[in-house]
Each structure stands twice: as C-alpha cells, then as structure tokens.
Structure 1
C-alpha cells in the first residue's frame, strides 16, 4: 500500500511538472522565448538564498503568472529552494500548515490562502504542485502580508476568538464581535465601519497583543500582531506598520523557523521587490531587506509592453500605451515575444520610461532590480467560474 501511494505521488508530481512545461499562449507569447527567459532567470538566481519575483501591481497578467510559476518550480527542483512565500495574508497559510501537520490538509485550503489574484486557470497546475510538495513536507508555503483577503477563511474562523481569549471578560465579547464583523464584513445600519469601530478594532488588537511576551515566536502571536497592524492602518494610526514593513517582519518570522541554509522565493509585486525606494511613496520590501544587510538576495521585476490585465469579477482592461523609447519597447526590438534583461543589460535602459511600478515613469532601473522580464503582449487570466474576465 505504501509503495502504491509513493508511486501515485511521484506520478502526480510528474504530471504537474509536465503540464507546467507545456503551458503555451497561442498567438500571444512563443514557447521558445518563454523557455529562454526561464532558463536565464534561473541561471542568474539559482545560487541566491532569497529571490523576490515581481509582477505588475495590477496582479492580473496571465503570461507573467505562468512564467513565474515555471521559474519557481525550477528554483525548487534544481536549485534547492525550500520555501515559497506569497504576498498574501499569513493567517490562512498558518491554518494550512497546521492542517498539513494534522494530516488533513485539503487543496481548497491552500487555494484560499493563496487568494483570488492567483486562483486562475493558468496557475491551476502550479497550485496542485505546491499542494503536493507541501503535504509531502518538501516545501514550506506561506504568506507574508498582514491583510486578510476575501478568501481568508481561517482568519475569519479563528481570529475573533483568538483576540478575545487574551482579553478580560468585560471586553472579550465586544472585541470578538467587532473582529468578526470586520473579517466577515457584515456591517449594517446598526454596526457601521465608522471611526469608533476602527478605533475599537485597533484597541482590541493592541490589548490582545500586549498579553504576549515580546520574544514569543508562536504563530498565534504573529497573527495577532499582523491583525493589530492591519487594524491600525485601517484606523490611520501611526502605530500601524506600513505594509512592506509588516511583510519584512513576517518574512523574518518564516526565515527564523526554517532550517539553516534554507532558500526562499517570494511571490510579490514588482514594486515591493525593488531594492531602492526611488520615486515610490513607501520603502519597499526589497529596500528594507537590503537596508538590513541582506547580501545574498536577487530581485526580479516583471513588466509588459502591451496587452490586457484583469482580476476575478472585474473588467479586463488594456494596458496603457507606452512611448516608443520605453524600456519595454527597446528591450523587444529584436522581435522576441519575451526577453530577460540581466543587471548589465538593464543599465542600458536606466533613465527610460517603464511601467515596472505600474504607472509609467522614469527611473534608474538597474539600481532597483538584478534583472527584469519583459513580455511583449500580456493577457488577462481566466477563472474556473468564467471563460474570461468580463469585457
């Protein structure tokens, strides 16, 4: 029986690996160009301990998603990376990890943790591969954001009671109800998401967090602290860490728990991966890591010259046109459908306009990224409950 189970697991991994390799985008991006970019990125970052892979901040580009998935798989299988962390709430990944430890993890739980941006058809095989690797204890899959998402089922199920359990009886019920209202978003005419409610949420989370020791490294404390910073930002309080500082904190928590010598890949937006703040209105995660002395890190930006972007339930939209001398246009003058610019090649495009941070702007891109992937034509993802995003 054990041998049959192992054979089945190996076959499943092979099937998923093959499906990732055969992903094509008929008429959009040639397979040959995608394979070349994949090889070049993996070659450049294989020996790093930490790799930040970006994407356009709209989180709605199918070609980039599928290419990132292939790169992540190669980093795990060929370069020894043993953790994949998403720009998604830590709560449901912790719930998934607990389910793996109990032996009752389900793929739907991991899908909920990963969230709606990446729950598309193009990444179905990748998510299956992640699940298989995680339940076989070959890979840690986690989240580094403090924001609960629309699919954060574990956060809704456990956080109200977890906060209440740390509070005196006089406050516990009120706080539990307030946290549940927020995470389930069940506001009505009686209970509104107004200034008093935002203050109440922050105070509840602050009081609960105060009951934990500063050196408590438990997942419960991590989640309560995440909720405190999330509620504090909702309340526009200076106590709330900026999202990237919160992501830095959660990333550190994961890395401290991993075995010595572990290698981590972070799936995030290009604007969070940047090594320097530049014109960004906040200090990005990549810059925070660099400022903390992270020397064995690679940051890879993703961008596109043209095409469409879309999210679940939203209208797909054309990417705004770029000038003829934009980084994206100049990088693809050879006619390639996708291209990877390593840091040396990227220097030739410093001072050019690019949409790497979303809005077209000029910057010294080689100071932000070790490399950049440019796709000629993006397309909006498709989702299991629809053939395509609404027009």
Structure 2
C-alpha cells in the first residue's frame, strides 16, 4: 500500500483511540443489538444535533449488519437525541391510516406496523424496531410515516383504502369507483385482461371525482379530508409513471422514472413534515441511492436527482446522509438465495479502511472521506465506482464482514 493510503489509515486509527467515546452524550445508552460501541457512539454524535438524519442502505436491501446497526441507531436517536418522527421508504398510505387510528384512540398493533413497513424489511434484524415504534407512538409524541407512493402487497392500501376513499361518493358513482379502485389496488388483473391505459384513465377519473367532493365546504375542513387529499395526490403521481417504464431505452426514460419517484417521495415528505410540531427532528430510513445528496458524477446515475438532493436544499447542514458498505461477507434479497459479496480490492475505500486494523466496523466522517479524494467504493450497491464519496454522503459505516438477513416466513 502506498504512503498516502497508510497515512490516511493512521489518522483513522488515531481518531478511534483519541476521541472520547461519549462526546456530548449526556444519557446512558440502551444496547439493543451487538455492535461496536465506539463506532455507534461516533455516528450518534454526528447525527444527534441534526434536524433530518437519513439512514441509508444498499438498494439490494439484503445486508443484516447494516440493518442491526440502523435499528440500534434509531433507538439511540429517539431516546437520547429527541428525534420524534421516522419516515420510511414504504407506501405512505398505511402510515396515514395508522396515524388516523391512533388519533382516535384505537389500537395500533405490531402487525399493522410490520405490514406498513413492508416486506423489504420483514426479517429478524428489523423486528426489534416494531414494538419500540408502537410504544413510542402510544405516547402521542412520536410520528411514523411512509415516503413512497407505491402500493404494498397485503397492506391497508391494497385492501381497505379504496373503501375509505369512495365514502365521499354516493349511489352508482360510489359502487363504480369502488370496483375500479379495488381491482387496481388489489392488482386483480390477468393475462387475458391485463392492466392497460383504459384502466388507468378510469382510476384517474375516480380520483378526480373524489377530490372534487373533498373540496366542498362541508368536507374540506375535516382532518380526514386533508389526509385523503394527500393520499390521492400520491396515488396520482404513482399512476403518472405507469407505462413509462415499458421502454427504458428511449430518451432516458428510466432516469426520468427514477427522478419522478424520488420527487414524489420528497413531496410526501414535505407534506407530512409540515404537519409536525415546530422544531421536530426526523429520521429517514431508505436506500442510499435515494438519500444521496448528489449522484451527478457517479457512473450509471447520470441525470439522476435523488430525494436527498431536495432535503439538502431545504435543510442544508441540518441534514445528514449516512451510507453503509462492507469489505466482505454475504447478502440476500427478500427470500432469495444467500450470495457471496466479492472481497473489496486493496485499493478500494473498503480495502484501505481495513488494511491495518482488526476492527469489525469503521465509521468514516465527512472529513475522513474528503481525505480519500476520489476512490472506488460500493455504498450504492454491489458494484465498485470511483467517486468523491463526501459529495454523496456525509458519513459512511463500513463493516468488515456483512451477513444476510434472516427473512421471516409468511
């Protein structure tokens, strides 16, 4: 290894041994998962004073060490740093429904929260988070919301939302739109009768009819009406992308689809953040490809405008994007076979980080990332790309060895 890389590693090692382990942390932490205390403390300290803490992960959503670290970090940020909201990269509809149930004193169960979080995080690593979130919601001072405009399988959105939305309609109009919406939300299409532009037009027509009713004076003052308008706006943005993905080879259509989705997530965030008390602090849980501050110069992401770009524009240095990567190990997408992660090359960021130490994980602050300049790394997936990573994230946790999540059976 060259002298410059060795100097970088020397500085990193001195950082871990010389920085006080509990800088500016007044409370005693509660251990939830088994992680390296020194690194989790450093990450907590970096995020504690922010307004928006964005916790990323690989878009494969199949790395167990990352998930365990994030679960413990959420506990710490809520209990010790007074974060009062968690927004997750799942359909926003179920969370609006849960919030409505909670506001009227009805029970919110672990099963409801698990269903809202969705199958991407249906594993043993994330399960300890569910009862914690339920307990915090019951206090009335913690908010759990979703960012995405997509419909989750076996969710409230796919089963019960249609009935709730059409309650503003009457007679044949209600029956017709209920059938149209239920067919789509439950994806009741077949090879003989597939989803097509005519179906989309009918759905959009029903949503427009419902929005018209929501604008009537006797309805629009109701709290439920505002929430239903937000859900309809999110559904319409989702529908607007339908059929555009049929040919991603034309006119950068795939990039546009991705950008429209990230923009939609931002609009959902903005709408729901505006409802929080002044001074609120929000944790955002999503893939790093969404939370990145910029992807402009990353190979394969030309033209991409991620969710994190809008957050940084709104919050500046009050927002923090945390990425994750690994030197080696295993991973597994939802209920897919376990796969080996290629060992990181010596000259990669991950290889340099573990060249001369025995740590299980390392936290690289923004200043540390800046010292590496442009170097190959894989915080955005399984492929190594060279980039000034301090431009993409504010900090990076790198594990020596990842493990595949233990997916729950259904």
Deviation at 1:245, TM superposition (A): 0.9
Partner residue of 2:293? Answer: 275
Q: Give the alignment partner of residue 98 of structure 1, picking from 89, 97, 100.
A: 100
Q: Which moved more, 1:344-353 or 1:47-56?
A: 344-353
Aligned to 2:283: 265
CA distance, structure 2, for counterparts of residue 355 and residue 47 of structure 1: 28
Calculate the TM-score normalised by the size of structure 1.
0.84
CA contact (8 A) 1:163 1:175 kept: no
Listed one character per residue, the Cα deviations across residues 224-258 of structure 1 (whole Å, up to 9, x for unaligned) are: 11111111112329998711111111111221111
CA contact (8 A) 1:337 1:377 kept: yes
Q: What does residue 380 of structure 1 align with?
A: 404
Give the TM-score normalised by structure 2: 0.80
Gaps of 5+ in 1: 1-16, 25-30, 387-391
Describe the shift of the 1:270–1:255 C-alpha distance in structure 2 as closer, same or farther (beyond 3 A): same
- SS of 1:292's equivalent in the other structure is helix
Q: Could you say which residue in structure 1 is the equivalent of 2:157? A: 155
Local SS of the residue matching 2:128: helix
Which residue matches 1:389? none
Do 1:163 and 1:204's aligned partners in 2 also have CA atoms closer than 8 Å? no
| Conserved 8 A contact 1:146-1:247 | yes
**Taking structure 1 as reference, are residues 166 and 288 closer, same or farther at Cα in structure 2, changes over 3 Å only?**
same
Q: For residue 81 of structure 1, give the secondary structure of its aligned residue in structure 2.
A: coil
Counterpart in the other structure of 2:380: 357
- State the aligned residue count: 360
Measured in 1, the distance between the counterparts of 2:38 and 2:278 equals: 32
Q: Distance in 1 between matches of 2:212 and 2:389?
A: 42
- The aligned counterpart of 2:123 is 120
- Do the aligned partners of residues 120 and 224 (structure 1) sit closer, same or farther apart at CA in structure 2, a change above 3 Å counting? same
Residue 212 (structure 1) shift: 4.6
Of the two, which has the highest radius of gyration? 2
Tell me, in whole angstroms, the C-alpha distance in 1 between the residues paired with 2:174 and 2:193.
17
2:339 equivalent in structure 1: 317
> Which residue in 1 is equivalent to 2:148?
145
**1:331 counterpart residue number:** 353
Q: 1:206 and 1:304, CA in 2 relative to 1: closer, same or farther beyond 3 A?
A: farther
Structure 1 range deviating more: 105-114 or 212-221? 212-221
Q: Distance in 2 between matches of 1:330 and 1:174?
A: 62
Larger CA deviation: 323-332 vs 285-294: 285-294
Distance 1:349 1:230, change over 3 A: same
User: 1:185 matched to which residue of 2?
Assistant: 187
Partner residue, 1:201: 203
Q: Distance in 2 between matches of 1:309 and 1:166?
A: 46
Match of 2:233 in 1: 225
Report the counterpart of residue 110 of structure 2 in structure 1. 107
**Which range moved further: 377-386 or 56-65?**
377-386
Tell me if structure 1 keeps the 8 A contact 2:92–2:147. Answer: yes
Match of 2:66 in 1: 64
Partners of 2:342 and 2:176 in 1: how far apart? Answer: 47
Q: Deviations over 1:83-112 (max 9, x none)?
A: 111111111111111222223211100110
Q: Does the 8 A contact of 2:325 with 2:396 survive in 1? A: yes
The question of 1:136 aligning with 2:159 is answered no
> Which residue matches 1:367?
391
Question: Per the alignment, do residues 151 and 327 of structure 1 end up closer, same or farther by CA in structure 2, a change over 3 Å counting?
Answer: farther
8 Å Cα contact 1:340-1:372 kept in structure 2:
yes
Task: Tell me the equivalent position of 2:21.
Answer: none
C-alpha deviation, 1:135, in angstroms: 1.6
Who is 1:244 aligned against?
A: 262
Q: Cα 1:178–1:45, aligned 2, differ >3 Å: closer, same or farther?
A: same
Given the alignment, which residue of 314, 320, 323 partners 1:301? 323
1:293 positional shift: 5.1
How large is the Cα RMSD of the aligned pairs?
2.8
Which residue number corresponds to residue 10 of structure 2? none
1:367-387 deviation per Cα after TM superposition (whole angstroms, max 9, x unaligned): 12111111121111113328x
